[in-house]
């Protein structure tokens, strides 16, 4: 027989020009369902004004990131059983450190812009002619087309990051993790972007990013690794070996 729990979903609500508040929705769930299923049940059967982001439902798109009881999670792979208990309340809030568009949906633009700035483009624009006849540079400099493929660009790391909370100009864990994969020696403009006060040196080694990353990117370790690369390049240039 399917196990049933009664839970209360306490959902953060915020519309333009309206004060922030929480709405509560009582529901019966199978504890092996996922948190996203419970959020969707609210929208489908209780409140059609609830706004949230989702797409693939299998942890590939990174769209359904939210704070569950204060901790960043991909809601499509977070079983209800893992974050609450029968008769208890489950608090659902939008990611931090991004502007709220509506309720649980945030504007992820700053993450995409920073990924683009460091050269890890989510989409590489090409023309039809280039596909027919690939330019020679495609073979010469593959780093131009490299991106950190494990990163879902879900933004959980940015939301959990205590530095991003206090400094909107910080490049952030995911972009810095992606920069670690790019050959800095061949990209002086990238080196100056990460080697500055809003780049690798702003990180406080809290490793909150690594703790919440659902894709084992381990951005904290990658940022430390990137620091090592920057220091090594500086030493090399000091001794004329760059
Ligand atoms: S590094 Fe991890 S937590 Fe950060 S955006 Fe990429 S997948 Fe999400």
> Looking at residue 79, what DSSP letter applies?
B
Angstrom distances, CA of residue 38 to CA of 46, 96, 123: 11, 21, 32
Q: Classify residue 146 by burial, with Cβ atoms within 10 Å: 0-12, 13-18, 19+.
A: middle
Q: Ligand 1 in contact with 159 (CB < 6 A)? A: no
Name the DSSP letter for residue 96. Answer: S
- CA distances to 92, 161, 227 from 52, rounded to whole Å, are 11, 22, 36
| Beta strands 21-29; 71-74: pairing state | unpaired
Can you give the CATH number for the domain in which 152 is found? Answer: 1.10.1060.10
Residues 114 and 227 occupy one common structural domain: yes
Residues 93 and 179 in one domain: no
Yes or no: say if 64 and 35 are a contact pair by the CB < 8 Å rule.
Answer: no
Q: Ligand 1: distance of its center to the CA of 14 in Å?
A: 25
Same domain, 9 and 92: yes
Of 105, 123, 150, which residue constitutes the final position of a domain? 105
Question: Are residues 101 and 116 part of one domain?
Answer: no
- CA dist 233 and 39 (Å) reads 48
Nearest residue by C-alpha to atom 3 in ligand 1: 213
User: End of a domain among 49, 78, 105?
Assistant: 105
Does 97 share its domain with 119? no
Domain boundary residue among 77, 105, 133? Answer: 105
Q: What is the pLDDT along the chain (242 residues), one digit of tens a residue?
A: 899 999 999 999 999 888 999 999 999 999 999 999 999 999 999 999 999 999 999 999 999 999 999 999 999 999 999 999 999 999 999 999 999 999 999 999 999 999 989 887 666 667 888 778 877 766 555 555 555 678 999 999 999 999 999 999 999 999 999 999 887 777 888 898 999 999 999 999 999 999 999 999 999 999 999 999 999 988 887 887 65
pTM for the full model? 0.89
- 22 DSSP 8-state letter: E
β-sheet bridge partners, residue 14: none
Q: What total of structural domains would you count in the chain?
A: 2
Quickly tell me which residue has 């919440």 as its tokens. 212
- In contact, 141 and 188? CB cutoff 8 Å: no
CB distance 215 to ligand 1 below 6 Å: yes
Which CATH number characterizes residue 98's domain?
Answer: 3.10.20.30
pLDDT score recorded for residue 123: 61
Same domain, 26 and 92: yes
Cβ pair 124, 149 in contact under 8 A = no
User: If we measure between CA atoms, which residue out of 11, 8, 9, 7 comes closest to residue 103?
Assistant: 11
The CB of 217 under 6 Å from ligand 1? The reply is: yes
Q: Are residues 101 and 117 in the same domain?
A: no
CA distance 28 to 97: 32
64 lies in the same domain as 39: yes
Same domain flag for 233 and 114: yes
- Residue closest to 232 by CA, chosen among 181, 195, 204: 195
Are 79 and 140 contained in the same domain? no
Which tokens sit at 118? Answer: 């460091």
Same domain for 98 and 129: no
Ligand 1 pocket residue status of 153, Cβ below 6 Å: yes
Domain span holding position 114: 108-238
Considering the domain architecture, whether residues 220 and 140 belong to the same structural domain is answered as yes
User: What pLDDT, on the 0 to 100 scale, is given for residue 184?
Assistant: 78
């Amino acid at each position: 027989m399917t196990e049933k729990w009664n839970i209360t979903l306490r959902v953060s609500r915020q519309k333009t020009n309206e004060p922030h508040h929480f709405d509560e929705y009582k529901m019966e769930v199978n504890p092996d369902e996922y948190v996203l299923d419970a959020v969707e049940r609210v929208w489908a059967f209780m409140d059609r004004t609830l706004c949230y982001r989702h797409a693939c439902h299998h942890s590939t798109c990174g769209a359904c990131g939210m704070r569950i009881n204060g901790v960043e999670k991909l809601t499509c792979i977070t079983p209800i059983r893992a974050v609450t208990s029968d008769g208890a309340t489950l608090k659902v809030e939008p990611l931090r450190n991004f502007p709220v568009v509506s309720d649980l949906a945030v504007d992820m633009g700053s993450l995409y812009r920073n990924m683009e700035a460091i050269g890890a483009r989510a989409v590489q624009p090409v023309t039809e002619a280039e596909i027919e006849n690939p330019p020679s540079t495609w073979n010469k400099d593959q780093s131009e087309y490299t991106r950190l493929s494990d990163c879902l660009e879900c933004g959980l790391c940015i939301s959990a990051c205590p530095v991003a909370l206090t400094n909107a100009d910080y490049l952030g864990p995911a972009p810095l993790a992606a920069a670690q994969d790019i050959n800095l020696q061949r990209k002086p403009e990238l080196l100056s972007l990460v080697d500055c006060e809003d780049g690798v040196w702003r990180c406080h080694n809290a490793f909150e990013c690594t703790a919440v990353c659902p894709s084992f990117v381990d951005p904290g370790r990658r940022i430390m690794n990137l620091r090592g690369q920057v220091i090594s390049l500086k030493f090399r240039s000091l001794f004329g070996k760059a």
